Chains A and B, each alone.
Chain A
Amino acid sequence: MKTLILRTIAPYLAALMMIFSIFVLLRGHNDPGGGFIGGLLAASAFAIYGIASGVASARRAMRFHPMAIAGSGLAMSVLAGLASILFGVPFMTGLWAPPIPGIDFEISSVLFFDIGVYLVVLGAITSVALALEERDDE
């Protein structure tokens, strides 16, 4: 799979897919999109990078172990749900911070939940994909 064309273009393609994945994640706040599909896009970015430049460099590019990323996402989602304990509303209730003047975007617990989902999907799928790619190298 290590053709010259793929190896040259993969870093750019992966970077582009990462940016697009974050766009899809944030767009999902009010429009179709969201953490799951964004996470899948980001995972495929790492998978492509792993195919082109080898699993070892994909792991280096991630800095953290994929499962650790998934764990941090899961923790973030649960904490976003547990935040409602402070406001006397049921578990998983969406909480919105007061709008900041001049910015057409409200920070909310829902957003953090979605970012958590993004990280879980990114970590879990990348971990499976890289494990399968590693097997081919042997």
Chain B
Amino acid sequence: MIETALSILVGIFFAVAVYLLLSKHTIRIMLGVVVLGNAANLSIFTAGRLTREVPPVIPPDLYVPEIATANPLPQALVLTAIVISFSLFAFLLVLAWRAYQDLDTDNTEEMRIAEPKADPLPPLSY
């Protein structure tokens, strides 16, 4: 049941992320990347099966857990992914800010410094 609800939520996240990524403005694209990352994390979390209120901690006097516990691996994966996307996003934020300052625009259609529109054609004869 809860898996179904989360799957629908993941779908909504993806829809929002794609909508934002298709925008022209850098800030919205950045927000889209964040939402996309969260959608990915949530989908890993859901795909790893959900078990509530049973943390995977083994009591001190035992070698194996007593009952079936929550799967810690998806959470480790999500944590890794969060850490990585956090650092990438920190970089991206600084980059977008610098680009906005130096290029005087947050509209990606006007960001044509690397690929100028009026590039001349190469010489067509020797």
Contacts and interface: CB of A to CB of B under 8 A. Distances in A.
Contacts of B83: 36
Q: Chain A at the B interface: mostly helix, strand, loop or mixed?
A: helix
7 contacts: A36-B83, A124-B87, A128-B90, A128-B94, A131-B94, A132-B94, A135-B97
Interface residues of A, number: 6
B72 to A, nearest CB: 11
A82 B97 CA distance: 40
A128 B91 CA distance: 8
Interface in B75-92: 83, 87, 90
A134 B94 CA distance: 12
Interface of B: 83, 87, 90, 94, 97
A114 to B, nearest CB: 15
A27 to B, nearest CB: 14
Contacts of B87: 124
B80 to A, nearest CB: 10
Interface in A114-138: 124, 128, 131-132, 135
B75 to A, nearest CB: 12
Contacts of B97: 135
A119 to B, nearest CB: 15
Contacts of A132: 94
Contacts of A124: 87
> What are the 7 closest A-B residue pairs judged by CB atoms, nearest first?
A128-B90, A36-B83, A132-B94, A124-B87, A131-B94, A128-B94, A135-B97
Interface string A28-60: 000000001000000000000000000000000
Contacts of A36: 83
Contacts of A131: 94
